[in-house]
Amino acid sequence: CLVENVSTTLINKISPLLKSISLNMTIKQRAVKPVAPSSFLWALQRQMISSRNTQYNFNSMQDVPEILQVILTEISSSSPIADDIFSSSIKSTVTCNTCLSYSVKEERLDILTLPTSLNVPTSLASFLEPEVLLGSDQWFCPMCDCKRDSTKETSIISSSAFLIIQFIRFQCIDGLSVKDEQVIDSLGGPPYV
């Protein structure tokens, strides 16, 4: 009886979106015909509207990382171990080049956004490379009480079991949106030790 009450309580805490994902996965495993994802899409639409307060039309092109983030947020709110599976911690340190004062910011990310390169290791190295903040990108130094040339360093301080990467494929050049369509080798570079 106690097990049934606990199971019922856990099931009632799971969001409609996660219930729909679970149901669709179960049906897909048993199906011999293609599965219609309409219940999942309706649940996703409701969740997108309520959590982001934005319209979502599943009959039009959508931003995949945004949709994935909504799903991962739902999973994290329902499971105490989700962060160990999907989230990584990133630390950014900005140091004033004049007085050497600094600011540290840590954030948890489910999706790591990387610059596009020929392979994942090169993209990751580019992401972690120190960046000099000059001109309009200068950092406001609280010690100097003005904007100063600074250096930003980024590091991954913890990583989950799975690292989800989104490559920056679009950039604005002369007012036009241009897509980088190069093929990315997922494992390229030197062998992992």
**Tell me: the pLDDT tens digits for 148-164?**
999 999 999 998 888 88
pLDDT given at position 146 = 96
More confident of the two residues 176 and 102: 102
End-to-end CA distance of the chain: 51
More confident of the two residues 193 and 46: 46
pLDDT given at position 54 = 65
Collect all residues with Cβ–Cβ distance below 8 Å to 65 and sequence separation of at least 6: 111, 113, 166
Report the predicted TM-score, pTM, of the whole model to 2 decimal places: 0.66
Tokens of 52: 């982001």
Confidence check: pLDDT of 126 > 50:
yes
Confidence check: pLDDT of 69 > 70:
yes
